[in-house]
Amino acid sequence: MIERDLRALRRALAAKEISSVELTELYLQRIARHNPQLNAYISVDPESSLAQARAADQRLASGEGGPLTGIPIAHKDIFCSRGWLTTCGSKMLGNFVSPYDAAVIARFAAAGAVLLGKTNMDEFAMGSSNETSFYGPVKNPWDASCVPGGSSGGSAAAVVARLAPAATGTDTGGS
């Protein structure tokens, strides 16, 4: 299942080959197993993600939902996400829990996506190696002696290592 693209995952969910809860659990298990070596994620909230997945399964069962309903997506930690830590890779925002969703997060939610976790990044997106995060550098899944690039290296590493089927990223100054 982890090798399928978003379209194939959507078809699998629609055909009931897998539920959103099962798919989300699969990715959460992979994150728990591989993130300690890669440091792709800053925060993961299994309880919140699984609650979203349960709601997505209900929408799918009733024939409702958007194009991403039930699909877990990782988001770069630069995007405010209601109820989640949003640190921008900085100690200064280490305790900031956003009271609102950024527009991109709200649009993914409206499309039915499950927020899987927040990915590591260069502090305030000001870097190109993903080594300046307060939470430590992200390791390249193909070669841990290399960096995945930045500032969205956590998102890149999460997708390449199949810790998420897709992830958001940004470009600040040519990254």
The rounded distance, in Å, linking the Cα atoms of 50 and 95 is 23
Q: Which pairing describes strands 114-119 and 41-43: parallel, antiparallel, or unpaired?
A: antiparallel
Task: Provide the angle, in degrees to the nearest 10, between the axes of the packed helices 20-38 and 6-14.
Answer: 150
- The active-site residue out of 20, 49, 76, 81 is 76
The yes-or-no answer on residue 151 being catalytic is yes
- The active-site residue out of 19, 151, 152, 155 is 151
Is the preceding omega at residue 151 within 30 degrees of 0, hence cis? yes
- The active-site residue out of 49, 81, 133, 175 is 175
CB 110 within 8 A of CB 119: no
> Which spans in the chain are helix H?
6-14, 20-38, 46-61, 103-110, 153-160
The yes-or-no answer on residue 20 being catalytic is no
The yes-or-no answer on residue 133 being catalytic is no
Query: Annotated active-site positions, please?
Result: 76, 151, 175
